[in-house]
Structure 1
Amino acid sequence: MEQFHEIDITNCPVASVQKIIRGKWSMVIIYFLYHETLRFSQLKRKMPQVTEANLTKELRMLEQYGLVHREIYREVPPRVEYSLTEIGRKFVPVLEALEQWAIEYEQERKML
C-alpha cells in the first residue's frame, strides 16, 4: 500500500492563494476593477446582491493582501476609489483561465 506523507500546507503556494481569494465575491471584485477604477457606490451597483458590509469586508481583505488599492481624495465630500494593484492585475489571467474552465465544466455537466 502506498504511503502518504503529510504536507505542510502553511508553505503551500496554492493554500496561500486560496486564503487570499477565499471571499465569496473576491474574484468578482477583481474582475470589475480590472476593467476600471470604481468608487464604492459604483461597485455596489454592479453587485446588487452583495451587502455593503460584505463588500466592505472583501475590499479591505483584498487591500490587506495587496491586490486592491484604495485611494482617498481629500475633498468635500470625501471621494474613495478602488483599483487593482500591479500584482492584482497579474491575477486576471488566472481568472480568465478559471472562467474558461468553468465554461467547459458546465458543458461537460450538461452532457451527463
Structure 2
Amino acid sequence: MSKHVLVVDDEPNIVLSLEFLLEQAGFTVTTTDNGEDALAAAREQRPDVVLLDIMLPGTDGYEICQTLRDDPELAEVPVIMLTARGREIDREKGISLGADDYIVKPFSTSEVVERVRRIAGEGG
C-alpha cells in the first residue's frame, strides 16, 4: 500500500509539480491550498507525511503545524515545511513548533521527493 502525502501550498505550479513527482515516486497525493482545508484533509485522511507551506491564505503553516501537534491522533504525522522564508529564525520557529524538516523555496523537486521518502520510511 502506498504512503499518503498531503501537499498544502497556494502556488498552483508548485502543487502540480510536487503532485506529479510524488505520484511518479509511488505516493498517493492529496492537495489543498489553504489551512482550513489542510486540517480537514489531515483529520479525514490521516496522511503519512504533510508538505506544508508557511504563507497560506487564512491559517498559516505555523498554526497548522501547531494544531497537528496538539491533536493526539495527528501528533505523530511528519511535517515538512516548504517556504520562501529562509531566515534562520523562521526555520527555528518551524522546527520548534514540531516540523520534522524545513525546505526553502526555490527547491529541487527531486530533493523534496527524497526527503519525503526518508521521512515516510521508504528509504531513499
From the CA coordinates, give the structure whose radius of gyration is larger: 1
Q: TM-score, normalised by structure 2?
A: 0.25
Greater fraction strand: 2
Q: TM-score, normalised by structure 1?
A: 0.27
